[in-house]
């Protein structure tokens, strides 16, 4: 019997209990899934940062902590967590992100906002360019960034991707490092932020990097609120250097009603809906990692503590 502790909050238990049990059965795993297991008898922990569990020291026999979140910045620095930590790479979450990002890119590309704002009775035909004439840059070529880059390139867009270390992706211009960042920003008519939340990525988009974007560039941020220096973005919007920003994530969530983003005419706010972990597909990822752990095979999506993701 494999003892699996569900420490991802009681609010998630209702959604995950049945899909997890089905996934364990499909993987031929004999699992006792519970909201409470004695620490010394716990083999795996399914975790979310909203959990009350913060001290992992008693779980000396735990083989891995399996996060339900793609981001692990709220747990990776926990000094009591000495066992392997795996982040969630969920096919359902990835597909949701691809659909959301693609939708907003097409909204900008086709200038749909202008069409919706046109007063009745005014005929103003303006044919948009083809996708092959539009440059899109994605900062962050992890699982989500790569999936979005591939989808957009398949639509015909000229896609540039930037990452800290070198990456290769078919039909995508890949850059890296500080020089590569400037190159990636310089052509970005539409800029998408999909970097992780680490000290190195804080305020990636600031006054200096915003100035490196083309005039009237548009920004889409479904990644992390910490990637943007908010005051600098507001200044760039107010000076008309940036034409518009669609923001799904923020430093404080829910976004306070008094935040200037809400009322800004060049900002679209969405309430952190770009992508979410889906219980049905995430449960299959959890089950596969437990199967691997039991078979002493390498775990999927193992977090590199030194890089923070």
Q: Name residue, tokens 């089950």.
A: 287
Is 87 an annotated catalytic residue?
no
Is 224 an annotated catalytic residue?
yes
Dist CA 36 CA 181 (whole Å) = 47
Q: Where are the alpha helices (DSSP H) in the chain?
A: 10-26, 91-109, 112-117, 143-154, 177-186, 207-211, 230-238, 260-263, 279-294
Active-site residue identified among 176, 264, 272, 291: 272
**Which of 282, 284, 278 is CA-nearest to residue 23?**
284
- CA 189 from centre of chain: 21
Please give the full DSSP string across 249-298, using - where no structure is assigned: --SSSSPPTT-HHHH-TTEEE--S-S----HHHHHHHHHHHHHHHHTTPP
- CA 124 from centre of chain: 37
Active-site residue identified among 224, 244, 278, 301: 224
Dist CA 6 CA 51 (whole Å) = 9
CB neighbours of 104 closer than 8 A, spacing ≥ 6? 220, 246
Dist CA 163 CA 202 (whole Å) = 15
Helix axes 10-26, 279-294, angle to 10 degrees: 60
**Which of 242, 247, 245, 256 is CA-nearest to residue 225?**
247
- The residues that are catalytic are 224, 272
């Amino acid at each position: 019997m494999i003892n699996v502790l569900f420490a991802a909050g009681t609010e998630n238990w209702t959604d995950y209990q049945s899909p997890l049990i089905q996934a364990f059965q499909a993987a031929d795993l004999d699992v006792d899934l519970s909201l409470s297991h004695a620490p010394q008898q716990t083999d795996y922990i399914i975790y979310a940062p909203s959990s009350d569990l913060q001290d992992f020291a008693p779980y000396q026999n735990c083989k891995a902590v399996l996060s339900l979140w793609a981001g692990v910045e709220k747990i990776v620095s926990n000094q009591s967590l000495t066992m392997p930590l795996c982040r969630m790479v969920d096919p359902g979450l990835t597909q949701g992100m691809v659909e959301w990002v693609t939708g907003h890119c097409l909204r900008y590309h086709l200038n749909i906002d202008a069409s919706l704002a046109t007063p009745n009775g005014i005929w103003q035909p303006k044919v948009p360019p083809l996708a092959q004439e539009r440059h899109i840059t994605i900062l962050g070529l992890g699982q989500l960034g790569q999936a979005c880059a591939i989808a957009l390139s398949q639509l015909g867009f000229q896609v540039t991707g930037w990452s800290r270390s070198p990456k290769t992706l078919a039909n995508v211009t890949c850059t890296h490092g500080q020089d590569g960042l400037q190159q990636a920003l310089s052509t970005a008519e539409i800029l998408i932020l999909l970097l992780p939340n680490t000290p190195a990525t804080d305020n990636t988009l600031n006054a200096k990097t915003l100035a490196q974007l083309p005039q009237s560039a548009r920004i889409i941020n479904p990644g992390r609120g910490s990637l943007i220096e908010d005051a600098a973005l507001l200044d760039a919007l107010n000076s008309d250097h940036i034409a518009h920003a669609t923001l799904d994530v923020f430093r404080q969530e829910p976004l306070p009603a008094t935040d200037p983003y809400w009322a800004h005419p060049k900002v679209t706010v969405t309430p952190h809906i770009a992508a979410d972990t889906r219980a049905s597909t995430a449960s299959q990822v959890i089950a596969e990692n437990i199967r691997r752990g039991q078979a002493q095979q390498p775990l999927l999506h193992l977090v590199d503590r030194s890089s923070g993701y």
